[in-house]
Amino acid sequence: MKYSRSLASAGLVHLALGLPAPQMQYEDNMGAVGGVDPPIPTYTGAPVGNLRGPTNLQGGLASRPPVSGGASAVVPDPELVGGQEADADLGLYLDFNSAHYPNGPQPIRGDYGATDPGPRTYEYEKLNPDTYAPPSTDSGTVPQAMWPLGLSHNLYGSGKESGWARQQNQDVLPVATAMAGVDMRLAPNAYRELHWHTSDEWALVLKGSVRVAALDTDGATFVDDVTEGDVWFFPQGVPHSLQALHEGAEFLLIFDSGTFSEQETFLATEMMMRTPISVWAKDLQTDVSSFDYIPDAEKYIFNGTPAPANISEQNITSSAGALWGPSGYTYHWSQQEFHNTTGGSVKILDPLTFPVANMFSAALVVLEPGAMREVHWHTTSDEWSYFLEGSARITVYQAPAASATYDFTAGDVGYIQKSNGHYIENTGTDDVIFLEVLQAPQFTDISAAQWLALTPRQIIKDTLNLTDAVLDAIPKEKTIIKPGNPNMTAIAGGGQNY
């Protein structure tokens, strides 16, 4: 409709109505396939032909194709990218963006795989090279650990261009039993209406600024403004509202239930509509006419009056007073400095500094090109991850002998079960930024390198056949981040990847 309105202003509506529907182009998804050789001739008229074929096409009765010289699945001159012919156990990152249609990319690593004559969608393969051509170290069955929020159905707000939300839960990522996520957008001054949940809510502001307001069970109130990089937390059952400030907002919500659904939230409008008006009149001590204009549908996300610049105007209190400090529902994480180390930066937020969120622990990590979040695992919690910027990959090791490698870009969710070994490696030419969230009273992990460095030397040598030279070089302190060569295929050319 916006397109038609813009043409209407130019007097070109008749052109808009006559425009053909746009068609997506999928490069090699054309030509003969599956016994069909498009484009089929255009036909108009009464239907002709049978829906079912004759019985003489049954096996042993029908003519057979030639053994040689018939329909071909050969891909002429397949194109391989850098590192693709290297030992498959090296598991080098393959940059399929450098492959060219129609000869690449191809699902080949070292001596494994074969060419792909189609059908195929090249963009999927370029985004997921470690799925299309997995390292040979991948083995067995690991539950799907990645979901792109770009594939989640968007739920629009009720107001004109007021906002939207999309979610990840067990419906789309079944392995994510302990946490679910929502990406929400509020237009300038728009509200997420008054509501509450049966799950705890932890949020990170991605863009813009938000005014949050809440009430606890004692009647104490809370109101605060948060901006990009800040966090809020609302315990289950605590009613709250969210309003974007004048430049709008987008934020990430994480809930402590894998079955959480944005469409199963308790809403103030629905509560008002689903309770007899006489009851509300008695509860609020007012005439029933006061409810003549209550909404007849939920508002969900809707446009609102701009929030006053002086936040104290909205700080209404009872004898219970206002919440602040350790009992407050926000943490201005954007003002916390990063811990910087070779290869990247990290900062942690957990109940040690944000006690109200008593079981949410998070790390915000920045990796330079080639760098890696070291191989590790979490002892008491699954890990819910979200990628804010850049590209990366994760290999998940699951006991006793399974592993799978996944590729991530901005907007993707990762989920790794408790105790499963994994790393996060920057595969791009820019920094990668991601969030790790745990259901734990403190952010902790086990570093595989530190474990090897601090285990009695003879045990390691007898078990893994590593040399003293290798073990001597491993730091005894946890490093969190490992620097690396931005050239992801340097090893294939005789170089090093660190």
CB 180 within 8 A of CB 255: yes
Query: Tokens at residue 466, please?
Result: 């590593």
**Looking at the chain, how many residues does it have?**
498
Distance of CA 293 to the CA centre of its chain: 40
Going 281 to 286 to 289 to 293, the CA torsion angle's sign is negative
Report in angstroms the alpha-carbon separations of 149 from 101, 124, 154, 248.
27, 15, 9, 20
- Report the catalytic residues: 436
CB 122 within 8 A of CB 101: yes
SS3 call for 259: coil
List the beta bridge partners of residue 70: none
475 vs 453: CA distance, rounded Å: 7
CB 391 within 8 A of CB 407: yes
Distance of CA 63 to the CA centre of its chain: 51
SS3 call for 346: strand
Report in angstroms the alpha-carbon separations of 414 from 126, 154, 180, 319, 359.
18, 19, 11, 44, 19
SS (H, E, C) 268-314: HHHHHHCCCHHHHHHHHCCCHHHHCCCCCCCCCEECCCCCCCCHHHH
In the numeric block, the tokens 């002429």 are attached to 76
Which of 383, 389, 390, 381 is CA-nearest to residue 363? 383
SS3 call for 331: strand
List the beta bridge partners of residue 403: 139, 397
Going 417 to 418 to 423 to 425, the CA torsion angle's sign is positive
Which of 114, 161, 179 is CA-nearest to residue 437? 179
Distance of CA 42 to the CA centre of its chain: 43
